[in-house]
Chain A
Amino acid sequence: MLTGGRLLDPSRGVDVVTDILLSDGKVIDHGSNIGHPDDALIVDCDGMIVAPGFIDVHCHLREPGRADVETIASGARAAAAGGFTAVCAMPNTDPVIDNPAAVGFVVRQGLLAKAARVYPIGAISVGQRGEALAEFGEMIDSGAIAVSDDGKPVVSAQLMRTALEYARTFGVPVIDHCEEPTLAAGGAMNEGLVSARLGLKGIPDEAEEIMVIRDILLARLTHGHVHLAHMSTKGSVELIRWGKERGINVTAEVCPHHLSLTEDAVEGYNTNAKMNPPLRTAEDVETLREAVRDGTIDLVATDHAPHHYDEKEREFSNAPNGIVGLETALSVVVDSLVVPGYIDFGTLVDRMSCSPARLFGLPGGSLRKGSPADVTIFDPVQRWVVDPRQFMSKGRNTPYAGKTLTGRAICTVVAGEIVYTLDEQRDVK
């Protein structure tokens, strides 16, 4: 029983301070005078926003293969700490998740973790080698909710076409990591003045945009659903708009770091500002923020990518790409979009919960009667200092270390069970 919180459910246009009752893993009702059983657990949500659970459709949980860097369990706990009730795990593990047994493994590890729900994403191609299609049907039957070769682009247009057509049979989106490999090869950051000064090979915007338009056109050809991962350039936004105007079934996501940081974060060869696609310019950040506002970008995903300290502690061009994001995503979005006034909290909840659920056909994304009791309770105004040593994730590679952010997940409920509560004593101010 969650009392006194601001229930914000854009799926039904509900925004009211009220109580909400959960039971047997489902939402029962909300209202100011609803009754509750005597043995109900009462959670006081005064001052908080109570929203349908956030869903991250893009994260890397590193298991199987790199359990030293993250496990499905530690990742699920990190997700819960960030306010996520569900995450979708990308298949670029070792071995790749390209068969039903591997998918089943991920499902089971997720259940054992008893934290956020974990939905596996299956590979598009066997071994993610970009040659033969993986068995979509078998993987989906085992629990996969989408397919992607993320980590790598689908280089062959023919393969992408086939994937989009074949995926229609099962009604799942095909997620593409848009990167033209010959243009981007060897690049370590955005191509521009900063890369010229630092002597680092750059990745031009066009490396992403060429694949974006290719995928949009293939979606048009096949009437399939293509979901574009981690968009980073203003050109990409324009192309997505073009596609949507023509009724093409293209959806897109953006990561919090592309909404808040620019290539300047790389100064001093900071490997915690190295990711793919790279941080771009202020103009790109501005355009992406606007795109989240007007819905051209449908949702926010984290691309949570933990790496071992030793791997990031090396020369910039040799360091791996990626930063963690589950535990800072909400706060970065609040700081970058809500505080400056691009969106309100209703839109935030939509982009982080309702839209992911709707577009990927996942349970949740709403708190109507009978919905799964996946709830994100967060403090919209709390200021806190990011301390990676406190992360539940095994990864510590974040560019936000030491920064003060606004907004914080306070309590996360999955299937009616509390899987995370912010412990006040651990809060480092």
Chain B
Amino acid sequence: MTAATPLGKDLLGLEPLSGEQITLILDTAEPFKEISERAIKKVPTLRGSTVVNLFFENSTRTRVSFEFAEKRLSADTVNVAASASSVSKGETLVDTARNLEAMRIDMVVMRHPSSGAAAFLAERIESNVINAGDGTHEHPTQGLLDLLTLRDHFNKIEGLRVCICGDVLHSRVARSNIWGLRKLGAEVAVCGPRSLLPSAIDEMGVTVFSRIEDAIEWSDALNVLRLQLERMTSGYIPSLREYNRYFGVTRERLERAPRDVLILHPGPMNRGVEIDSDVADGPHSVILPQVTNGVAVRMAVLYLLSGGRPEMAEAAKTGKSGGAA
């Protein structure tokens, strides 16, 4: 909104951000990693701020990750697990927004089953809104932590070859990754049966592989998506067994690759379906570092969105290096 908030009021997705903004978040996440290594994993930065975790879909891991991030910044957190069916009429979302605002909540972290729900909320309340996943649209903090994990390993993103494998059609993680990687100059590919890829995928600036072997041969890193059983209401693929046979990331396939391919997975995993256990637990898997980075990235996002009031900044203005505090 102002120069004091480099990301604007909300984080709704990676598509609206510039490469510089994404890099700023990643750079800001670095010192937050260090805080999670301390004995006292807390800094007072968001002390006095209230953050509501508004989750309309079940998600233990994302919600807990956000909760850690918020508490490590000394914010007060409130978890609201709303039922999506009770808001299927939609008025509830508008009313929820107004109620939150009336309670003077500073930030809302929301996950919702409808695409565009985060934007819907953000347009109607003054609080900062962080999209923790809206329908099949975007999951920006997941995209960011994937980028950070890649950067940790390769020391760069530009020119990296990353292939996203699986149900891209229904995946908000895939979309956020595609935008984030492209904005930072990576080469992006997808791999999966055509029935699980959007029909317009060829216009999204990515290479399409129909065979997982080709994808593995091309890639520096694979981001293996969970086969979203709950979203496939009308059978886009015949069976999980067939999926694993033709698209599963297995040790044998990785061993035939010309280089060590880094393995990412947003979790939770369907072991033996999209990814085999010996790959998930193997030496090239960074699935656990992804989780660690998740907390750091979320701390960075919360920190960068916490707005200042510029009219008070004048009074608070201090000199440069020598004069400051």
Contacts and interface: CB of A to CB of B under 8 A. Distances in A.
Direct contact of A and B (CB under 8 A): yes
A201 B231 CA distance: 12
Interface string B108-139: 00001011110110000000000000111110
Interface residues of A, number: 25
Nearest to B114: A315
Contact of A314 (B89, B119, B200, B204): B89
Contacts of A186: 233
B15 A197 contact: yes
Contacts of B175: 197, 199
Contact of A192 (B94, B120, B200): B200
Given A269-B120, A315-B112, A202 B199 contact: yes
B201 interface: yes
Contacts of B198: 195-196
B91 interface: yes
Task: Indicate the member of A202, A313, A316 with the most B CB atoms within 10 Å.
Answer: A316
- Interface class of chain A by DSSP: loop
Contact of B135 (A191, A197, A268, A317): A317
A316 B115 contact: yes
Contact of B119 (A191, A195, A268, A319): A268
Task: Indicate the member of A195, A199, A202, A314 with the most B CB atoms within 10 Å.
Answer: A199
A39 interface: no
Contact of A316 (B89, B114, B200, B233): B114
Contacts of B94: 313-314
B265 interface: no
B115 A269 contact: yes
B135 A199 contact: yes
Given A269-B115, A316-B115, A196 B137 contact: no
Interface string A187-230: 00001110111111110100000000000000000000000000
A397 to B, nearest CB: 14
A310 interface: yes
Contacts of A318: 88-90, 114
Nearest to A310: B91
Interface string A154-198: 000000000000000000000000000000011000011101111
B203 A193 contact: yes
B137 A315 contact: no
A269 B199 contact: no
A315 to B, nearest CB: 4
A167 B43 CA distance: 77
Nearest to A312: B90
A313 B123 CA distance: 12
B184 interface: no
A294 B39 CA distance: 78
Contacts of A204: 199
A199 B138 contact: yes
B201 A198 contact: no
B183 interface: no
Interface of B: 15, 88-91, 93-94, 112, 114-117, 119-120, 134-138, 172, 175, 198-201, 203-204, 233-234
24 contacts: A192-B200, A193-B203, A193-B204, A195-B200, A196-B198, A196-B199, A196-B204, A198-B115, A199-B135, A200-B116, A268-B119, A269-B116, A313-B91, A313-B94, A314-B90, A314-B91, A314-B94, A315-B93, A315-B115, A315-B116, A316-B115, A316-B120, A317-B135, A318-B89
Given A199-B137, A310-B91, A317-B135, 7 more contacts: A196-B199, A200-B136, A201-B136, A269-B120, A313-B90, A313-B94, A314-B90
Interface of A: 185-186, 191-193, 195-202, 204, 268-269, 310-311, 313-319
